[in-house]
Amino acid sequence: MDHLAYESGAGLKWKFQNNFILSGEYLYTDYGNTKASASSYMPPGGGGITYPSTSLNTEFIVKTFNIGLEYKF
């Protein structure tokens, strides 16, 4: 991974009656990115067949939004 993972978020709660609370929150999580590459190669006994080189650059990000309703006894 190229950098450290981090999370950032915010939330709100609103009491709209004596026993009910409505809530909402947003969470952004970044797990970083991964790079990988494979150079071209010819398998043993491949008869001249060469597989091409490949590369991968993937970013892992999760965005979450939650809503909730609470009842207090």
How do the domains of the chain map onto residue ranges? 6-71
- What is the pLDDT at residue 46? 63
CA dihedral 30, 60, 28, 5 (to 10 degrees): -20
The span from the CA of 37 to the CA of 58, in Å, is 12
- What is the pLDDT at residue 47? 67
Q: Phi/psi of residue 52, each to 5°?
A: -70, 160
- What is the pLDDT at residue 3? 66
The span from the CA of 69 to the CA of 63, in Å, is 21
In sequence order, what are the beta bridge partners of 34? 58
pLDDT < 70: residue spans in the chain: 1-3, 42-43, 46-48
Q: Is there a contact between 20 and 71 (Cβ–Cβ < 8 Å)?
A: yes
pTM above threshold 0.75? no
